[in-house]
Structure 1
Amino acid sequence: MAPAFPVQLLPAAQSGLTPPVRHFILRTDCGGDCLAGRGQKMHFILSTFGSAGDVFPNVALALELRRRGHQLTLATNPYFAELIESYGLAFEPLGTVKNYHACISDPNLWNPGKSFAHMFGFLKPVLKRQFDIHAERSGENVVGISSCMGFGALMAQDAHQIPVITMHLQPAVIWSDIQPPGLPGMFGPKWLQRIQFRIGERFVIDPVVCPFLNAWRVELGLPPVKNIVRWWNSKYGILCLFPDWYCTPQTDWPQPVLQADFPLWNHQSDAALADELQTFLDAGDPPIVFTPGTANAHGREFFAAAVQTCQTLKRRGILLTKYVDQIPPSLPSSIAHFNYVPLDRLLPRSAAFVHHGGVGSTSQGLLAGIPQVLMPLAHDQFDNAQRIEKLNAGASLPATRFNARRLTDLLKPLLSSDEVATVCQGYASRLAARDGIALAADAIERRVGVETKT
């Protein structure tokens, strides 16, 4: 999940210190200091925090880079260890499964005014381990690839000159004065949003992070940092895993920008659908699919509204969540519950998609070519909701107003609109190649000076 901030002020700008040229850096045509000669293989350390929507793209990228002959280490919460190791990837734990469950069980995770401090409280104990994972390999041809909350990786970059690429799955975390992302708590013309952003940056975000980071930096003999949501973008490069038609790169974004496309990878996409699911899909019209997100353990009201909406519209439905206690105790035969289904296998056989608005789910809805209704709660979800509306691919309904009546009113015209159907199919055609991960690997190899061979 992308981090959520009080007032949802999520900027980006120059970050860290430029990695000094190391003994194996060669000047080539990669647009700057490159870390390898043509054909030389690298050791990439991919690290992330969050839900399946954050981990899946890292697994996909690790698999692609490994296919190209590079060495890979993937670091995240051990809640995902079994999944990662099932693909034969080297795994380093960050935190504990107990802490993962404690983080997602607290409703503050979904409160826009409290979620950033909540998340950072769980990150602090593991950031030094993230630092060590990089520092222990400082004598190798190592490049870190980390999410925007990868403060431990960025500290290793500053302390040990280990280059880090910040990987952004969503545009919401890259602030632009020219075209601000759509974030809750911000309103009015762009000049007013700039003021709101800088107030939040100075008085809300930095006070949460800077005391911890700067005390640590004193221990490492490093100068203090501020403007954390600018510093979190590595000056070595930021990798954007979304297409330019979803969000046009702005001239005031930190540079260099490595542009790719949506990763569009799901665990078990190559496996056969469960017999129970296949039987349900074959038994009637395409269903409406509902999920509040893989890490949302507080979706009881969401699913109650989903069931009522399906019955009002006389539509079939599928409810997706691992947290069974969220599901109404008695479902009609026209509505089914499943713990997990790869969205790229399910959504193309569905009529519409109602979800929380994470960028992974949003992109899977676009790939499937079906209308979406987003219920943003926190993090990057409000920005994704605005983009889906601008693309005319669906609508949004904030959690504070989410109920069956309003959801029915939104879904009914979307399901019957030929214009929306045509638009959605157009986006599906754009994404049909599903080459986001390959493009990302190409961009990374160009940045580090490795010859790209796909």
Structure 2
Amino acid sequence: MAKHVLIATLGSFGDLHPYLAIAIGLKQRGHWVTLASSSMYREKVESEGIRFVAIPPQLDQLEHDRETRRKAMDSLDGTRYVLQELFLPPLAESYRILLAEARNADILFGSVLAFGLPLAAAKLRLPYIHSALQPAAVFSAFDPPLIPAMPFFPALPPAILRILFSGLHQLNRLLLKKVYQLAKQEGLPQNAVPRLFGHTSPHGNLMLFSRHFMAPKPDFPQPFTMCGFPFYDKLDGNQFSIDSDIESFFSAGDPPYVFTLGTSAVLDPGSFYEEAHTTVTRMKKRAIFLVGRTNFAHYQKLASDRILVSPYAPHSTLMPRAAVNIHQGGIGTTAQALRSGKPMVVVPFSHDQPDNARRCVQLGVGVSIPRKSFNTHLLEEALVAAGTKQELARSMGILIQSEDAVEAACEKIAATQPSPRKI
């Protein structure tokens, strides 16, 4: 039976693309889909024939306010800043929009950062399917995340971690005070508020990352479905082909190094591209720099016959043809790098990126350089070391390519039965 699914997500392309991939999959299977996100994504979503609803905040301010960009990518305080200063202030407005949309929906599904969605589900007694885009969102005591503010987690035994994680729920109340206040105003129970540290939903919990990146653990939220990485990285629904200048560059010589900072870290790159330019020039190597729209005019000066500078290109068209992929460790970029089957160098900035970098190193598919230590000497060493990891990277690429995350997610969502709603 066809269902109407309301999906909500907030953040960068790495937060949007997995849900857009699933939205497209649901539509292809005959379901009705509405995707709610920041207004800057309207054109991309609607180009795929998916109904779009804008919810605040307007994240395009990140592209225009340098101080906001810096604070959002701070290694220690960035996550708190994004939550409390960007996502939570317009919570009431976002909730009202989602509540109105949910009245016509059968199932609600999305990112934990779209805080109004589980509240709307509780208000209308609709099934809400939770999802985790990265291992760091699960908070397993058997495979704990590496968090910059609490770097000791991976060294602790599960018994100690379970105690610490239970204490983090008090921190949840502090960080999400406005969500708890809104829930109280709406007459909702406190458990309607999502947990930042290991949220769970009785209707289902989709792990939107590969089991080869993090294997299932005994304390995963129940019931859970291991889906894999849902992939989408088109500019929009009408254009996917690689730029002719990039294609010509690939054809002109040896496979280049591909440098990218995704769509969030690229807004606060620091000296990343200058250090990269110095390194590849000294090594007499070829490289492609993806520098973002905001920075493109500034970084065009780095272009040469050996270095191509571009604002954006789908990672899926570049990374499989690279010698080594150098990136920030965002989950969307990391997933594409893993699927490419090529070794990588990860330079994590903030949020879940240090944990993703650590997992790539543990898998033997790449090496990592802390952002604060990033320099030409360490980068050259890392590029040489990454070149020795070709075989493991290729094997991992085959495993990732064998998964069909969209099929797994759509199957679970379609099997969820709508519940009697409260109008």
TM-score (norm 1): 0.83
Q: Which residue does the alignment assign to 1:93? A: 54
Q: Which residue does the alignment assign to 2:421? A: none
Structure 1 counterpart of 2:206, which letter?
L
Q: Which residue does the alignment assign to 2:347? A: 375
5 Å matches for 1:11-410?
A: 40-95=1-56, 96=58, 98-101=60-63, 105-120=68-83, 121-184=85-148, 185-187=150-152, 188-190=155-157, 193-194=161-162, 197=165, 201-203=169-171, 205-210=172-177, 212-224=178-190, 228-230=195-197, 232-268=199-235, 271-296=240-265, 297-322=267-292, 323-324=295-296, 327=299, 329-410=301-382
Q: Secondary structure at the match of 2:274?
A: helix
In structure 2, relative to structure 1, the CA distance for the partners of 1:193 and 1:326 (3 Å cut) is farther
Shift of 1:199: 5.2
Structure 1 counterpart of 2:76, which letter?
G
Shift of 1:97: 5.3
How far, CA to CA, are the matches of 1:346 and 1:434 in structure 2? 20
User: Is the Cα–Cα contact under 8 Å of residues 103 and 124 in structure 2 kept in the other structure?
Assistant: no
How far, CA to CA, are the matches of 2:60 and 2:357 in structure 1? 32
Q: Which residue does the alignment assign to 1:4? A: none
Shift of 1:230: 4.7
Shift of 1:231: 7.4
How far, CA to CA, are the matches of 1:380 and 1:369 in structure 2? 22
User: Is the Cα–Cα contact under 8 Å of residues 263 and 434 in structure 1 kept in the other structure?
Assistant: no
Shift of 1:436: 1.7
Q: For residues 315-341 of structure 1, what are the alpha-carbon distances to aligned partners after superposition, in whole Å with 9 as ceiling and x for unaligned?
A: 100000222255273433201111111
User: Is the Cα–Cα contact under 8 Å of residues 186 and 193 in structure 1 kept in the other structure?
Assistant: no
In structure 2, relative to structure 1, the CA distance for the partners of 1:87 and 1:355 (3 Å cut) is same
Structure 2 counterpart of 1:342, which letter?
P
Shift of 1:291: 1.1
User: Is the Cα–Cα contact under 8 Å of residues 115 and 194 in structure 2 kept in the other structure?
Assistant: no
Query: Bigger relative contact order, structure 1 or 2, given CA contacts below 8 A and separation 6+?
Result: 1
Q: Secondary structure at the match of 1:136?
A: helix
How far, CA to CA, are the matches of 1:396 and 1:94 in structure 2? 36
Q: For residues 400-449 of structure 1, what are the alpha-carbon distances to aligned partners after superposition, in whole Å with 9 as ceiling and x for unaligned?
A: 1111110111111322x2xx211111112223345221222122223348
How far, CA to CA, are the matches of 1:97 and 1:360 in structure 2? 18
Q: Which residue does the alignment assign to 1:13? A: none
Q: Secondary structure at the match of 1:267?
A: coil
User: Is the Cα–Cα contact under 8 Å of residues 343 and 366 in structure 2 kept in the other structure?
Assistant: yes
Q: Secondary structure at the match of 2:81?
A: helix
In structure 2, relative to structure 1, the CA distance for the partners of 1:392 and 1:98 (3 Å cut) is closer
Shift of 1:123: 1.2
1:432 aligns with 2:404: no
Structure 1 counterpart of 2:414, which letter?
E
Structure 2 counterpart of 1:275, which letter?
S
Structure 1 counterpart of 2:260, which letter?
T
How far, CA to CA, are the matches of 2:383 and 2:212 in structure 1? 25
Q: Secondary structure at the match of 1:327?
A: helix
User: Is the Cα–Cα contact under 8 Å of residues 327 and 333 in structure 2 kept in the other structure?
Assistant: yes
Structure 1 counterpart of 2:211, which letter?
D
Please, which runs of 5 or more residues in structure 2 have no aligned partner? 419-423
In structure 2, relative to structure 1, the CA distance for the partners of 1:174 and 1:231 (3 Å cut) is closer
How far, CA to CA, are the matches of 2:198 and 2:125 in structure 1? 16
User: Is the Cα–Cα contact under 8 Å of residues 148 and 233 in structure 1 kept in the other structure?
Assistant: no
User: Is the Cα–Cα contact under 8 Å of residues 108 and 127 in structure 2 kept in the other structure?
Assistant: yes
Identity score, percent: 27
Q: Secondary structure at the match of 2:309?
A: strand
**Comparing 66-75 with 148-157, which one deviates more in the overlay?**
148-157
Structure 2 counterpart of 1:42, which letter?
K
- The number of aligned residues is 405
Structure 2 counterpart of 1:414, which letter?
A
Structure 2 counterpart of 1:202, which letter?
Q
